[in-house]
Amino acid sequence: MFLESQCNGATAFDQAIAAAVSRELHRTAQPLTILQGLLELMLSRASTAEECRSSLERAIEEVHRLTSCFDDVRKLVGLQRSASDIGSFPLSILVADVLQNLRSQLDIAGVAVVFNMHPNEKSMNVAVNVSHSRVFNAVRLVLMTLVNCLHAGDQIKVSIEKNDSNATIVFWPLSHSQPGVIEEQYLLLSTLISRLEFAQVLFSSVGGEVRLSETPGVVVMSLPAAASQPTTQDRQRKAMHV
């Protein structure tokens, strides 16, 4: 029964990757078509230097889009290989490292991330035993996706919890924008599930799940928690009884 469950899970994961790769390849159709049209236009008529420059700049933009699409395809295909950096680590440390990595982007966007790294010892000790790089990149993707839905002055609250045998990271976007802008953000946040597709596939490769909460815009990432480490109080009690 266990082997059957593993096979079913592996098959579902492979199907998810195949579907994501197919969608990424489909995304290349538009920039390829535009690029072809620009090149044919430049070759079919004598253009001024300014027109050639404008067409070349547009062509370069489309090449960048294509490169991004093919890079995503490469990453998706790579998820079918076993990760080489599996280990146990606290989620609070990983989230703090992601925020450090994104500091400049967050400053430019004007979006503040409120994350109390050690709100309590229980939260501090929530650990997982999976690929560090895949969890890091998935958390980074979720944060940047939310940032792209917000405006300067807005916030994202991040918390870490442990429910039963699962460790969870919760992202709660808080908008302080004007009413018209808030409506625009609500529409963006309502399409989050499609924007988070790559993060979903990446996180599922380590046995995790990315989902939306019933509260609009709130993203929950969960994965099996590692065995709990003894807290300071536990160690102190043990020392007293030795």
Strand partners, 155: 112, 174
* Predicted confidence (pLDDT) per residue in 146-202, tens digit: 888 888 889 999 999 888 789 999 999 887 766 555 556 556 666 677 778 878 888
According to DSSP, the β-strands at 112-114 and 155-163 are: parallel
Cα 165 from chain centroid (whole Å) = 22
Give pLDDT, residue 69: 73
Is residue 208's pLDDT more than 60?
A: yes
How many CA atoms does the CB half-sphere of 13 hold within 13 Å? Answer: 22
Q: Tell which phi-psi region holds residue 54, choosing left (phi > 0), alpha (psi between -120 and 50) or beta.
A: alpha
pLDDT recorded at residue 235 = 44
More confident residue, 46 or 220: 220
* Mean pLDDT, the chain, integer: 76
The widest CA-to-CA distance across the chain, in whole angstroms, is: 90
Cα–Cα distance, 89 to 128 (Å, whole number): 6
pLDDT at 219 over 80: yes
Residue 21 has a pLDDT of 67
* The predicted structure's pLDDT at residue 4: 40
Instruction: Measure the CA–CA gap between 228 and 222, rounded to whole angstroms.
Output: 16
Q: What percent of the chain clears pLDDT 70, i.e. is strictly above it?
A: 69
Quick one: pLDDT at residue 96?
93
State the pLDDT at residue 113.
94
| SS3 labels along 106-137 | HHHHCCEEECCCCCCHHHHCCEEEEEHHHHHH
d(CA 93, CA 22): 35
Tens digit of each residue's pLDDT (9 = 90 or more) over 129-147 = 998 988 998 899 899 888 8
Mean pLDDT is highest, among 102-116, 121-135, 171-185, for 102-116
Identify the structural domains of the chain with CATH numbers, from first to last.
2-78 (1.10.287), 86-224 (3.30.565.10)
Provide the 10 A C-beta neighbour count for residue 21: 18
Q: Which of 68-82, 146-160, 183-197, 206-220 is modeled with the greatest confidence?
A: 146-160
| pLDDT-wise least confident of 8-12, 54-58, 157-161, 200-204 | 8-12
Distance CA 169, CA 91 (A): 8
Quick one: pLDDT at residue 171?
Answer: 94
Indicate the pLDDT class of residue 64, thresholds 50, 70 and 90: confident
- Residue where the block lists tokens 């400053």: 107
Residue 195 CB contacts under 8 Å (≥ 6 apart), including other chains:
145, 148, 149
Q: Please tell me the distance from the alpha carbon of residue 213 to that of residue 107, in angstroms, as a whole number.
A: 27
